Amino acid sequence: MKPKSIFLIIVSLFLFYSLAKSLFIFNDRFKIYQRLEQKKKKLEKKKVELQTRIKKAESLDYLEKKIRNDLQLVLPNETVVILSYPTPTPVKPTPTPLPIPLQWVEIFK
């Protein structure tokens, strides 16, 4: 082999190795980028959800509902009606009937 062809083979192998290494690095970084994009989308969705919860918590209707239910306070001139749950009626168990063949045996005894 000529030294020129050996030199070209070495250079081409070096270039191929560099290309392969760069592709592997690119692939790893692309996977990291995709994971970060997914995480970003989840965080943006959570941010919107939290902002709506904040707006809801700041509304007067929510505050009134919270005061009425948790603190059990009422407005003046309001009448409170307390309903209790009905007591359960006892259920009388009924015996299960004998199977048909045993009923016939009882008749002919």
Angle 58-64-66 (CA atoms, 0-180°, nearest 5)?
85
What pLDDT, on a 0 to 100 scale, did the predictor assign at position 9? 92
In a domain, 62, yes or no: yes
pLDDT (average), residues 66-87: 84
- Whole-angstrom Cα Rg for the chain: 40
In a domain, 107, yes or no: no
Domains of the chain: total? 1
What pLDDT, on a 0 to 100 scale, did the predictor assign at position 78? 85
What pLDDT, on a 0 to 100 scale, did the predictor assign at position 22? 96
In a domain, 97, yes or no: no
Q: Are 62 and 56 in contact (CB under 8 A)?
A: yes
Question: Which residue range is the domain that position 27 belongs to?
Answer: 3-81
Q: What tens digit of pLDDT does each residue of 30-76 get?
A: 999 999 999 999 999 999 999 999 998 888 888 888 888 888 888 88
Phi/psi of residue 73, each to 5°?
-105, 155
In the chain, pLDDT over 70 holds for what percent of residues?
100
What pTM did the predictor assign? 0.49
